[in-house]
Structure 1
Amino acid sequence: MKFVLAPDSFKESMTAAEAVAAMQRGVLAVFPDAECVGAPMADGGEGTTEALAAALGGAVVRAAVHDAVGRPVQAAYGYVEHEHLAIIEIAAAAGIDLVAVADRDPKTAGSAGVGELISHALDRGATRFIVGLGGSVTNDGGAGMLQALGARLLDESGAELPPGGAALARLHRVDLSAFDERLAGSTFQIASDVTNPLLGSTGASAVFGPQKGADPATVLELDAALGVYAAVIAALTGTDIASRPGAGAAGGLGAAFLAFLPTEMRRGVDVVMDAVRLADKIAGADYVFTGEGSIDSQTLNGKTPLGVAEAAALHGVPVVAFAGRIGAGAEVLYEHGFAALVPIVQGVTDLPGALADGAANLERAVATTCRLLTLA
């Protein structure tokens, strides 16, 4: 029998690779001769670097960059040398978790660290990039990233703009004469489930700004500043990124990628599935096992288990999903290709206990499921 094991991470309990290992132990305890094909998964958010590096035989590299408030930080990214592929989560450099609530200011927070990560990967020989947009504390439209890659964002007097989204209100022109030439020969796949435009009531500032510390007045100020930014970009490139779906992702970093870099923006799980060649792995399988920490009706919003189920359905392979929590509305997933949803926690426990015992619980739940399969 052939089992494809394609879970996401179980947040605060197991990485995706650790979940694959636990699943494999469970399968082999019942079917010792089974073929287990591991495919650690992610959806472009937290864990994407580790999952893809593990699945593709790459390494996790650390680079000295700056966080959103300009402090030095060691940020990790994945690098697959034989594919010249870098896997970057922007949250590693510009993440909200790196900045204490008291230090968050979306008017001055900058994305330079993201550009520094890209530059570090270019120096290693990267020509392909997978970039997960999510978890940012910035609202600068990717201006800091562009500056770190050599662009100059100038006010009317020719002075360079300081970091942050508020300064974009003074943007007069963008000078690309020193923009890193290696970028033109690179490709960027952007893994993001955010389809918000850059501007307006559903844009970066209005929807995500409050999460980063913006009050109503600041939201209006940042949206207006990004409007100036969009107008300058349109005049320079002929690209109107103001209303492009996904331009508002990660505080407008999506806009910078779309306007200045060779970019394809796709649903996060689709990018990851293509990268790990999941469809090839599923071909000829008897079962696909997937899972993550929590499964509920929100799983339909592009989460990893849904993407795995969609891929398995194309091959007619049944999918079983395992989760630490099966939440409200999860039964709707049975209408989208799932054969079974299996909770892994046995008995009464508290959250710290469930997280600590995650790998053992997952292994046990997979083994029990496999024993039930023998009855079929």
Structure 2
Amino acid sequence: MAETIVVASDSFKGSVNSLEVGRSICQGIHALYPDDHVVVFPIADGGEGTVDAIMTSREGSRISLNVQGPFGQTVEAHYGLIDNGSTAIIETAEASGLTLVAKEDLDILQSSTYGTGELVKDALNKGVSKIYIGLGGSATNDGGMGLAAALGVRFFDEAGQSLKPISANVSKIASIDTSQKIKAIADVEIVLLVDVDNPLCGERGASFVYGPQKGGNIEQLRDLDRALDRYADLAAEVTGRHEKDSAGAGAAGGLGFGLLTFFNARAEKGIATILELIAIEEVIAKADLVITGEGQMDSQSVNGKAPIGVAQLAQKHGVPTIAIVGGAATDLDALYDAGISGVFDIVNSPMSLKEAMTNAPSLIANTAKNVISFYHRISK
């Protein structure tokens, strides 16, 4: 008997994107059961692939433009327009992402979210009334200074000189002027798609938690944390908004804070909002099986990550969910409680990480064959 299977996996970062994962799983299923109806949904939780995930499932247009990258270089970035052009879908990783620069070239003090601000500005110029901004995967730690500068907020040092909006200059901010802020943004609803609840500062803040992967050493991270704390207090004096301890303020190197403070944004769990935008629940409700996944699954995956969002929707409708992953930890009890029925990693023999990443499509397809064979036999 043919089954209806929904495949909704996150990307295996650095290896295959969400759509490629879905296609590989579909290939594996159809190798054994060609009559099974497989529906593939690319998904993301606000990081890399957010625009693609939404635009694959929604009618709209993709906009491409050259903007400033995280370290001042010119990059080609994309965002989406849906709802007849009234809603923009923007992801920070497109303009300010870690994948835009080689690891050895990372310099956390020179990083800026200015390019993401340029994407927002372009969307405003097109007359949108709502903007979703995914905050994952950034290479930045400027507290949103760059984005704010691109949208008209001005930052000055003690001598009254305008500051270049980079992380190193956050500590030099003596005054902030919002009088030149783009007026159109006041009438636009801004929704932040986040998968973390970190505050801006402190041990769980942007600098200490995410700074190391952006090239920051401990001394730089201490300095940045102090600078962001002072910056947040100054921004609160100017705007009346006290957001440094808000959940998600520390996302994308504090970009969450900048958007909450200067542009009255609100933060939402990225995966829940994205799943709603792509209307996946109505398809899951009619499915027999859901297959999800991500590159690495562990006990932390339960905290707002894409596979758990999918599993919880499936659980709501009594549909079992299986995860196919690049690698899995040993303690997954929290995931089982959250709706994952089983976790299958793709590594089927001793191999290096490089081999696994290079051969991911075939390994994913092979694992999908094992999963679907087992499922059909126990479901008879």
1:74 Cα offset (Å): 1.7
Distance across 1 between alignment mates of 2:164 and 2:83 = 35
Contact 1:41 1:48 in 2 (8 A): yes
Q: Corresponding residue for 2:111? A: 109
1:314-333 paired onto structure 2 within 5 Å: 314-330=316-332, 332-333=334-335
Residue identity opposite 1:184 in structure 2: A
State the Cα deviation string for residues 276-323 of structure 1 (Å, max 9, x = none): 122222122211111223333332233221111111111111111112
- For 1:213 and 1:291, locate their aligned partners in 2 and report how far apart those are by CA, in whole Å: 28
2:339 and 2:203 map into 1 onto residues whose CA distance is: 35
Is 1:166–1:221's contact at 8 Å kept on the other side of the alignment?
Answer: no
Counterpart in the other structure of 2:192: 190
Q: Secondary structure at the match of 2:64?
A: strand
Q: How much does 1:254 deviate?
A: 1.0
Instruction: Determine the structure 2 residue equivalent to 1:151.
Output: 153
Query: Which residue, out of 176, 180, 183, partners 2:182?
Result: 180
Q: TM-score, normalised by structure 1?
A: 0.88
1:275 aligns to what?
Answer: 277
1:7 to 6, 9, 23: 9
Q: Which moved more, 1:243-252 or 1:119-128?
A: 119-128
Per the alignment, residue 125 of structure 2 pairs with 123
Taking the aligned partners of 1:135 and 1:318, their CA distance within structure 2 comes to: 30
8 Å contact from structure 1 (residues 106, 137) kept in 2: yes
Residues 250 and 13 (structure 1), Cα distance of their counterparts in 2 relative to 1, 3 Å cut: closer
The alpha-carbon distance between structure 1 residues 13 and 97, as it changes in their structure 2 partners (threshold 3 A), is closer
Q: Which residue of 2 aligns with 1:49?
A: 51
C-alpha distance 27-125 of structure 1, shift in aligned 2 (>3 A): farther
Distance 2:201 2:333 in 1: 36
Mapped partners of 1:347, 1:104: distance in 2: 34
Contact 1:166-1:225 at 8 Å conserved across structures: no
Report deviation, 1:346.
4.1
The DSSP-based 3-state class of the residue aligned with 1:41 is coil
| TM-score normalized by the length of structure 2 | 0.87
Correspondence 1:237 to 2:212: no
Tell me the alpha carbon deviations over residues 192-234 of structure 1, each in whole angstroms, 9 at most, x when there is no partner: 2232222333322333334434444433432333233222221
Provide the C-alpha distance between the structure 2 equivalents of 1:216 and 1:71, rounded to a whole number of angstroms.
Answer: 26
What is the CA deviation profile of residues 7-59 of structure 1, one whole-angstrom value per residue up to 9, with x for unaligned ones? 11223443211222233344445554443332211122222222222222445
Kept after mapping to 1: 8 A contact 2:48/2:94 = no
Compared CA separation, residues 71 and 347, structure 1 to 2 (3 A): closer
| Map of 1:254 onto structure 2 | 256
CA separation of 1:93 and 1:342: change in aligned 2, threshold 3 A = same
1:134 aligns with 2:124: no
Partner-residue secondary structure (3-state), 1:310:
helix
Q: Which amino acid aligns with 1:301?
A: N
Q: CA deviation at 1:64?
A: 0.8
Identical amino acids, percent of aligned pairs: 38
C-alpha root-mean-square deviation of aligned residues, in Å? 2.7
User: How many residue pairs get matched?
Assistant: 376
SS at the partner of 1:82? coil
Q: What is the CA-CA distance between 1:249 and the residue it aligns to?
A: 1.8
Name which of structure 1's ranges 233-242 and 205-214 shifts more when overlaid on structure 2. Answer: 205-214
Question: 2:338 maps to which residue?
Answer: 336
Query: Could you tell me how far 1:115 is from its partner in structure 2?
Result: 0.5
> Secondary structure of 1:138's partner?
coil
CA contact 1:104–1:212 (8 Å) conserved in 2 = yes
After superposing the two structures, state which structure 1 stretch, 226-235 or 346-355, moved more: 346-355
Secondary structure at the counterpart of residue 258 of structure 1: helix
